[in-house]
Amino acid sequence: MPTIKTKRTIATVAAAATGLLVLTGCASGSSDSPGTQQTGISAQGTGTIAGTPDTLTVTLGVQTQATEAQAALQDNSQRATALIETLKSKGVATEDIRTSELTVDPTWEQSGRINGYQVSNQVTATLHDISQAGAVIDAAAAATGDAIRVRQTSFSIADDSDLRAEARSRAVQQAQEQARQMADAAGVTLGKVRSIVEVPQTQGAPNPFMRAPDMALADAVPIQAGSQELTVNVAITYDID
């Protein structure tokens, strides 16, 4: 049977626990629920603008073959050196020329025996004067002979900051208009901007580029830059007043 002292101790603990529960309830009742989400209107906009490319990046390959690897390498080195020197003589800056790939592969007979070696040396050059690009590629082909290969050419805009700013502005205007339409349709008033972010473009839609066949060049190469589109996507969230 509990003593008087034990009864008093139990009562004191019970009272303290009751007080703790009361204080906790008051504290939780005075704050907002952590899961509460504010209402708002979200819209996305896309801004697109076209510009004229002013830069051409071209990858030129030098491909040689011989029965011995050393002979194929030596031939390739001479032709690649001639290619690079020709590019420089046509006004391509040294910093705009780089070796992008160098491979040495054996060639095989149908019986499976190695009968020689093939060396491929790829040089990537950035040309800032598209009007002279055709002449530069022709000169490179002439200097390299039938070993020349045109792997890829791509157009770009060196400084697209002004175009990007205009595309971004158009995207924001489109998102604003969409948000106003949704607010009017819902019978509510559009409030202040809560957030605005630029949405990264998804991969899989490469910039416009031109490919040339993997073969030696013959006549003069016509180069037309055309136009290139730049797109910016934004997402805006507004409060509802």
Position with higher pLDDT, 35 vs 98: 98
- Complete DSSP assignment for 77-110: HHHHHHHHHHHHHTT--GGGEEEEEEEEEEEE-T
The whole model's pTM is what?
A: 0.62
Model confidence at 215: pLDDT above 90:
no
Is the CATH number 3.30.70.2970 carried by domain 55-156?
Answer: yes
- In this structure, of 3-12, 121-130, 185-194, 195-204, the range with the lowest mean pLDDT score is 3-12
The model's pLDDT over 142-176, given as tens digits with 9 standing for 90+, comes to: 999 999 998 888 999 999 999 999 999 999 999 99
User: Which of helix, strand or coil describes residue 224?
Assistant: coil
Give the model's pLDDT for residue 86.
Answer: 95
The model's pLDDT over 119-139, given as tens digits with 9 standing for 90+, comes to: 999 999 999 999 889 999 999
Q: Which two tokens stand for residue 84?
A: 């690079």
What is the third-level CATH fold of 40-50+161-204+231-240? Translation Initiation Factor IF3 (3.30.110)
Q: Phi then psi for 13, rounded to 5 degrees?
A: -60, -45
Do the domains 55-156 and 40-50+161-204+231-240 match in fold? Answer: no
The structural domains of the chain, with segments of one domain joined by +, span 40-50+161-204+231-240, 55-156
